[in-house]
Chains A and B, each alone.
Chain A
Amino acid sequence: MRFSGLRVIKEALTGHKGWTPAWRDPEPQAHYDIIIIGGGGHGLATAYYLAKEFKQKRIAVLEKGWIGGGNVGRNTTIIRSNYLLDGNEPFYEMSLKLWEGLEQDFNFNAMVSQRGILNLIHSDAQRDAFIRRGNAMRLNGVDAEMLTTAQIKERYPYLNTEDARFPIKGGLAQHRGGTVRHDAVAWGYARGADSRGVDIIQNCEVTGFKIENGKCLGVETSRGFIGATKVGCAVAGSSSRLMAHANMRLPIESHVLQAFVSEGLKPVMPGVVTFGAGHFYCSQSDKGGLVFGGDIDGYNTYAQRGNLPVVEDVCEGGMAIFPAFGRARLLRMWGGIMDMSMDGSPIIDKTHIDGLYFNGGWCYGGFKATPASGMCFAHLLARDAPHPNATAYRFDRFEKGLMIDEKGMGNQPNLH
């Protein structure tokens, strides 16, 4: 069933009786060629590209809850590719390009909105660092523009540029960045994968791996054993818990990142603004709510809720640059669990166990990476070789000293 304007009109005139479920609810089969663990954005995107781009058959996605019920539904929906390092920038730019064509590709309205992202600067040193970042982006063929305070004021006239501690001296803009309707990403990929024969099996928790002679033969689940030639894990946030079943310890700590939404307001924020020095970023959803957040709480946790000191810190940051937002009331807040890796960058790699593949360590940047993560993980699973844009995301980079440390913080996950 393809969606189109004509179809919407036809259904409107005939009582909406022709719509069918967007995906099936199949029983698990005894064996698959490829099993993806995790029915979030990355897992569903992987299955979609495996079926569509790599022509793989007999694929299943196993999800312990319902699809889109994890981090793909708990983020702040921002897409961008404003990275500095060579190991990252081509990957994230590939992701942004895939976002740009995604809705046509999977015939689903994901409300991709390239409203632009702006990183604020407050000092000469920060201006130098951001000019360097912008130049690195442009060397990779990505759009980047340094804006003056006056140019920023044109778009955000209510922005407080005169804060005594963090006066705003300009900003680095990526006009192709923006936001996406996050749930629709999961639904669009699920529908696209399902229509190409992928079994999406919900309420099916993986409780162990069957590993014999160094080879993974399948997974134990809450719905029985399911055999597989290859198993790909895409459960960022719970990676350490899952991989512990394969006796693996990961270069990852789990941390909580909080997010907040205000009551609905008339359009006030034209794009995404990040105030990194003050631990605050904000955009406005199409429903009108101000969507904002800040830093991770900073301690290991699997509780999908944070604590009050970070709430205070985020709101202080917001009030410093957008004093007017103090009049808006907070509607809801939540926490999502992040795979915080030791260098702030992800892992898409084979494990030492034959037939077992891993995708995780996305820190708080997993949402924007969803399409490229799916494409690169599908490439790895189908061809047993890393995608050219994901060659740096290896497990062994920590032992070999090949870290991709955008912030230069070292092996302290809560500082990335």
Chain B
Amino acid sequence: MIIDHPLLGPRDSAEFTYKGDARLIDRPDPEKGATAHDFYDYGYLRDNPAGWHEELWFHEAGDRSWLVVTRNTLTHEISKVELARDVARSRGRSK
């Protein structure tokens, strides 16, 4: 698989480490009332869809940025690659 890095252009997926579902960006916040059950849900349960999947890839052997890759789990086709930083900020995470 070739991941089209937003800053570096097309890179071999072997340069990356896979983390998982991009919903892992949305960590529950105890200060906003998140419960232990919310953390169980966050830590252990996954949608695991057959089809389009937004997922986190870490460019470990490259610029060490985190990416959100939209990839089809049936065909391995990649339709969108974004910096995870931008995605997190657009969801109100980080500053």
The answer to the question of A325 belonging to the interface, with a C-beta cut-off of 8 Å to chain B, is no
B6 partner residues in chain A, CB cutoff 8 A:
none
- Is the CB–CB distance between B53 and A411 below 8 Å? no
Binds A, one of B26-34, B68-76, B85-93: B68-76
Residues 197-247 (chain A) with a chain B CB within 8 angstroms: 238, 240-241, 244
B43 partner residues in chain A, CB cutoff 8 A:
342, 398, 411
> Which residue of A is nearest B18, CB measured?
A299
Instruction: Give bound CA distance, A309 to B47, whole Å.
Output: 26
> Which residue of A is nearest B15, CB measured?
A309
A249 partner residues in chain B, CB cutoff 8 A:
41, 45-48
> Which residue of A is nearest B47, CB measured?
A249
Chain A min CB distance to B80 (Å) = 16
- Is the CB–CB distance between A253 and B20 below 8 Å? yes
Which of A240, A251, A302, A411 contacts B74, CB < 8 Å? Answer: A302
Q: Which of A302, A412, A414 has the most CB of B within 10 A?
A: A302
- Is the CB–CB distance between A240 and B47 below 8 Å? yes
Interface range on chain B (Cβ under 8 Å from partner): 20 to 34
Number of interface residues of A (CB under 8 A): 25
Which of A240, A299, A307, A399 contacts B37, CB < 8 Å? Answer: A399
Instruction: Give bound CA distance, A411 to B42, whole Å.
Output: 11
Binary flags per residue of B8-22, CB closer than 8 Å to A gives 1, else 0: 000011100011110
- Is the CB–CB distance between A301 and B46 below 8 Å? no
Instruction: Give bound CA distance, A240 to B45, whole Å.
Output: 10
> Which residue of A is nearest B53, CB measured?
A300
B76 partner residues in chain A, CB cutoff 8 A:
301, 303, 307
- Is the CB–CB distance between B48 and A252 below 8 Å? yes
- Is the CB–CB distance between A240 and B46 below 8 Å? yes
Which of B20, B47, B50, B71 contacts A412, CB < 8 Å? Answer: B20
Instruction: Give bound CA distance, A27 to B43, whole Å.
Output: 43
> Which residue of B is nearest A341, CB measured?
B44
The answer to the question of A254 belonging to the interface, with a C-beta cut-off of 8 Å to chain B, is yes
Instruction: Give bound CA distance, A309 to B50, whole Å.
Output: 23
The answer to the question of A382 belonging to the interface, with a C-beta cut-off of 8 Å to chain B, is no
The answer to the question of B7 belonging to the interface, with a C-beta cut-off of 8 Å to chain A, is no
Beyond the given A241-B48, A249-B46, please list 13 additional residue pairs across the A-B interface where CB-CB is below 8 A. Answer: A238-B50, A240-B48, A249-B48, A252-B48, A254-B50, A298-B18, A300-B20, A300-B55, A303-B74, A307-B1, A399-B40, A399-B44, A411-B44
